[in-house]
Structure 1
Amino acid sequence: MNMLSALRDSWYFFSHNLAAIARLCLPLIVLEGLLLQQVTSLVAAESATLWRLLAGLLFYPLYSAALILFLDARSQGLQPRALDLLAASLRLWPSFALLAGLTTLAILLGASLFVLPGIWLMVKLAFAEYLLVLRGLSPMKALHDSFQLSNGYFWPMLGCILIVMLPLWLLDGWSQSNAILADNALASLLLDCASRFLQLFSSVVLFRLFMLRSAQPEVE
């Protein structure tokens, strides 16, 4: 599994399908951003993170599943309609939302144990969404099989995730601590939506890694 090759191929796909991905996912990302902004303004600061996570579960499974289905269709040379993809993602929402909740909980619990266990779980569970959407596995089976599928490929997967996500995490941290943005709802919303949209690139990268890993023999 060549990390740089996977990143290059993923960027080529993402940049050449940017308009289609934006039409598919951006409306839901904007709605998610508006909801999260309202939730943050209505709840106490100490419980805002929890409520933001719960609110995010309404929208994240929809546009993430739609994107995965889009990636799979385009990899087969198909041109799927956005409405068909969103309809399929809506049918997957209950199981995807459960999977996203379990994954988030596991990573947060791991991160509470000196961070490194959370990073390890983030990588080991990275393929679960693709297994659920593309192979029709249940949430628990998808989590289990993601552990198995990532055996022997932890470091290239971690490298790809960090290269893509670390700059976006730093941007999010800066925006949340910036007093000017905190007082400007529109600027905060635009930056949040831009960050979430750019994070879709990580889904493209992980899809590429998933396809490469699926084509390789099992590693004990």
Structure 2
Amino acid sequence: MNPLTVLQDSLYFFRHNLTSILMLCLPLVILEALGKQALGNALAADASPAYEVLVGLLFYPLYTGALILFLDARSRGEEPHTRDLLAMALGLWPTFAVLSALSTLLIMFGLSMFIIPGVYIMVKLAFSEYLLVLRGLSPLAAMRESLVMTQGHFVRILGCALGVYLPLSVLQGVGMFLLPEPQIAPISLAIDSLTSFLQLFTSVVMFRLFMLINEPGQPA
């Protein structure tokens, strides 16, 4: 289970299903960016970033849940309809939002303790979303099961995560250099939407890892 192979397989899937993923997720990603932009304009500059996290909790479970359902359906050779995926994701929203809130709090707490604990928590909870969506586990049960599933795979999961986050961070840094603050609203919206959409590639990579680890007899 070479991280490079996982990233290559995930990139191949992402490219060949890009149109479907755009239609499924991009409208909600743009709505999320609009909500954060509107909230930022309405609040003072020194307002707590927790408000943006709350906006994310409204939309992130919807487009991520729909994407996970899409990935699962395509892995079985099915061609799901966008409206059906969104309807199922809407039904999962309450529990997914609770899971997202708990995971975010734990990761932020870990990051506040010299970063490394936050990275550890992020890796150990990497499969919790898939366990909630695909196995119907409760948020706490999904988190516990993710702790079990990730045992013995920490380095591989971290390697795959870094293989996504580092290029995205470089791309984001280049964008900030070419288009420094302050930005006009349409450009800021476009950058935020593009960044959030590209981060969905992480879900594709983690799903691929989840499926590999979940396969009976899969070698480590």
Rounded Cα–Cα distance in structure 2 between residues aligned with 1:78 and 1:7: 23
Given the alignment of the two structures, is residue 149 of structure 1 paired with residue 149 of structure 2, yes or no? yes
- Partner of residue 168, structure 1: 168
Identical-pair percentage:
52
How far apart are residue 5 of structure 1 and its match? 1.2
- Partner of residue 187, structure 1: 187
Rounded Cα–Cα distance in structure 2 between residues aligned with 1:57 and 1:172: 22
- Name the TM-score, length of structure 1 as normaliser: 0.94
For 2:109, give the aligned amino acid.
L
Given the alignment of the two structures, is residue 3 of structure 1 paired with residue 8 of structure 2, yes or no? no
- Partner of residue 19, structure 2: 19
- More moved, 178-187 vs 80-89: 178-187
Rounded Cα–Cα distance in structure 2 between residues aligned with 1:46 and 1:196: 23
How far apart are residue 165 of structure 1 and its match? 1.3
Structure 1 residues 16 and 98, CA gap change in structure 2 (3 angstroms): same
Given the alignment of the two structures, is residue 68 of structure 1 paired with residue 31 of structure 2, yes or no? no
Given the alignment of the two structures, is residue 209 of structure 1 paired with residue 209 of structure 2, yes or no? yes
Q: What stretches of structure 1 of length at least 5 have no aligned partner?
A: none
How far apart are residue 173 of structure 1 and its match? 5.8
- Partner of residue 32, structure 1: 32
Matches within 5 A, 1:47-66: 47-66=47-66
Structure 1 residues 173 and 94, CA gap change in structure 2 (3 angstroms): farther
Please say if residues 129 and 142 of structure 1, whose CA atoms lie closer than 8 Å, have aligned partners that are also in contact: yes
Rounded Cα–Cα distance in structure 1 between residues aligned with 2:181 and 2:193: 14
Rounded Cα–Cα distance in structure 2 between residues aligned with 1:94 and 1:176: 35
- Partner of residue 100, structure 2: 100
Deviations, residues 73-95 of structure 1 (Å, cap 9, x unaligned): 00000000000000000000000
Matched length: 219
Structure 1 residues 171 and 8, CA gap change in structure 2 (3 angstroms): closer
For 2:129, give the aligned amino acid.
E
Rounded Cα–Cα distance in structure 1 between residues aligned with 2:29 and 2:124: 26
- More moved, 44-53 vs 1-10: 44-53
Rounded Cα–Cα distance in structure 1 between residues aligned with 2:175 and 2:54: 21
Secondary structure, counterpart of 2:62 in structure 1? helix
Rounded Cα–Cα distance in structure 2 between residues aligned with 1:167 and 1:208: 19
Q: What stretches of structure 2 of length at least 5 have no aligned partner?
A: none
Structure 1 residues 44 and 14, CA gap change in structure 2 (3 angstroms): same
Please say if residues 37 and 189 of structure 1, whose CA atoms lie closer than 8 Å, have aligned partners that are also in contact: yes
Rounded Cα–Cα distance in structure 2 between residues aligned with 1:110 and 1:69: 29
Rounded Cα–Cα distance in structure 1 between residues aligned with 2:51 and 2:176: 16
Secondary structure, counterpart of 2:73 in structure 1? helix
Rounded Cα–Cα distance in structure 2 between residues aligned with 1:64 and 1:25: 8
Please say if residues 71 and 204 of structure 1, whose CA atoms lie closer than 8 Å, have aligned partners that are also in contact: yes
Structure 1 residues 8 and 177, CA gap change in structure 2 (3 angstroms): closer
For 2:56, give the aligned amino acid.
G
